[in-house]
Chain A
Amino acid sequence: MNSVETLPVERFQAGDFKSDLKPIWCPGCGDFGVVTALTRALAAIGRPPHEIAFVSGIGCSSRIPGYTTAYGFNTVHGRSLPIAQGIKLANPELLVLVASGDGDGFSIGGGHVPHVIRRNIDITYIVMDNQIYGLTKGQLSPTSPRGRKTATSNFGSLEDPVNPLLYVLGYGASFVAQGSPLDMAGLAKLIEEGIRFPGFAFINVQSPCVTYGEEDQQLKGQRTRLQNLGAMGHDPSDRAKAIELAREYGTKLYTGVLYRNPTPGPTYGDGVAQRHQTLQKQAVPRHDILKRFIPSPTA
Chain B
Amino acid sequence: MSNDLIIGIAGAGGDGVVSAGESLITAAALEGYHGIMTKSFGSQIRGGEASCRLRLATQPVLNPNGPLDVAVALNWEDFRRFGGELPVESRTIVIYESNTGVSPDRLPLEGVKPSVVFSVPITQMAEKFAGTAKAKNIVVAGLLAGWFGIGRESMLTGIRKKFAKKGAEVVNGNVCAFQAGLDFAEAHPLKEDRKLGAPEAGRQAKLLTDGNDMCAAAAIFAGCNFFGGYPITPSTEIMQFLDREIWKYGGTVFQAEDEIAGLGAVVGASFAGKKAMTATSGPGMSLKTEMLGLASIAELPLVCVNVQRGGPSTGLPTKAEQSDLFQAAFSAHGDCLRPVLAPVSVADTFPITVEAFNIAEHYQTPVILLSDQEISQRKETVDPIDTSKFQIVERRRPAGAELANYARFKLTDSGISPISHPGMEGGNYLAAGIEHDEKGRPTASGEMHAKMNDKRFNKFNPLKNRRDLFVTIGDQDAPIGLVSWGSVAGVAMEALRLAKDQGMHVKLLIPKLLFPVAEPVFEDFFASVKCGLFVEQSHQAQLYRLVRMYVDVPRQVKPLAKSGSNPIQPGDVLECLRKLVVTMQCNPNHQPEAMVG
Contacts and interface: CB of A to CB of B under 8 A. Distances in A.
Of B161, B223, B271, the most chain A CB neighbours within 10 A belong to B271
Interface string A258-299: 000000000000001001100110110011111011111111
Contacts of A143: none
A48 interface: yes
Contacts of A81: 261, 264
A71 B433 CA distance: 14
Contact of B248 (A53, A55, A91, A283): A283
Nearest to A284: B248
A83 B294 CA distance: 11
Contacts of B226: 86, 89-90
Interface string B400-425: 00000000000000000000011111
A94 B424 CA distance: 11
A69 B260 CA distance: 28
Contacts of B269: 86-87, 89-90
A71 B252 contact: no
B428 A71 contact: yes
Contact of B155 (A55, A75, A297): A297
A272 to B, nearest CB: 6
A297 B423 contact: no
B428 A49 contact: yes
Contacts of A79: 260-261, 264, 290-291
Nearest to B268: A86
A231 to B, nearest CB: 38
Of A83, A93, A296, A299, the most chain B CB neighbours within 10 A belong to A299
A272 B252 CA distance: 8
B291 A76 contact: yes
Contact of B422 (A71, A276, A297): A71
Of B26, B205, B273, B432, the most chain A CB neighbours within 10 A belong to B432
Contacts of A288: 387
A298 B23 contact: yes
A148 interface: no
A50 B428 contact: yes
A52 interface: yes
Contacts of B209: 292-293
Lowest 9 CB-CB distances: which A-B pairs, in order? A86-B268, A82-B264, A86-B265, A82-B261, A299-B158, A90-B269, A283-B248, A90-B272, A297-B158
A297 B442 contact: no
B249 A286 contact: yes
A37 B426 CA distance: 24
25 contacts: A21-B441, A48-B425, A50-B423, A50-B424, A52-B422, A70-B428, A71-B421, A72-B429, A74-B442, A75-B433, A76-B291, A82-B256, A82-B260, A85-B261, A89-B265, A90-B226, A94-B272, A111-B257, A111-B258, A283-B249, A286-B223, A290-B384, A290-B387, A299-B155, A299-B163
B79 interface: no
A66 interface: yes
B364 to A, nearest CB: 15
A294 B207 CA distance: 5
Contacts of B158: 297-299
A287 B388 contact: yes
B138 interface: yes
A86 B433 contact: no
Contacts of A70: 422, 428
A90 B252 contact: yes
A83 B247 contact: no
Nearest to A78: B260
A283 to B, nearest CB: 4
A87 B252 CA distance: 11
B220 interface: yes
A282 B250 CA distance: 11
Given A74-B433, A79-B261, A85-B268, A295 B205 contact: yes
B438 to A, nearest CB: 14
A21 B159 CA distance: 71
Interface in B269-289: 269-274, 276
B385 interface: yes
A214 to B, nearest CB: 29
A83 B267 contact: yes
Interface in A90-131: 90-91, 93-94, 111-112, 114-115
A173 interface: no
A65 interface: yes
Given A76-B291, A289-B217, A290-B350, A50 B425 contact: yes
A35 interface: no
B212 interface: no
Contacts of A73: 268, 271, 298, 430-432
A187 interface: no
Interface string B19-48: 100110011011000000000000000000
Interface string B195-230: 000000000011111000110010011010110100
Nearest to B260: A79
Contacts of A76: 290-291, 293-294, 433
A115 B265 CA distance: 13
A33 B295 CA distance: 31
Nearest to B379: A295
B174 interface: yes
B127 interface: no
A51 interface: yes
Nearest to B155: A299
A84 interface: yes
A74 B252 contact: no
Contact of A53 (B22, B157, B272, B432): B272
Contacts of A91: 272-274, 421-423
Contacts of A299: 19, 23, 138, 141, 155, 158-159, 161-163, 174, 178
Contacts of B430: 65-66, 71-74
Contact of B276 (A50, A75, A90, A289): A90
Interface in A36-60: 48-53, 55, 58
B109 interface: no
B266 interface: yes
B76 interface: no
B258 A83 contact: no
B122 to A, nearest CB: 16
B118 interface: no
Contacts of A75: 264, 267, 294, 432-433
Given A55-B268, A87-B271, A91-B422, A74 B431 contact: yes
Given A51-B422, A86-B270, 10 more contacts: A50-B424, A55-B268, A71-B422, A73-B268, A88-B268, A111-B257, A283-B249, A290-B385, A293-B382, A297-B23
A84 to B, nearest CB: 6
A90 to B, nearest CB: 4
Contacts of A292: 209, 213, 217, 245
B257 to A, nearest CB: 4
A76 B268 CA distance: 12
A91 B312 CA distance: 38
Contacts of A65: 430
Nearest to B29: A295
B355 to A, nearest CB: 16
Contacts of A298: 19, 22-23, 26, 158, 161-162
Contacts of B207: 290, 293-295
Given A72-B429, A94-B423, A296-B161, A112 B245 contact: no
B134 to A, nearest CB: 12
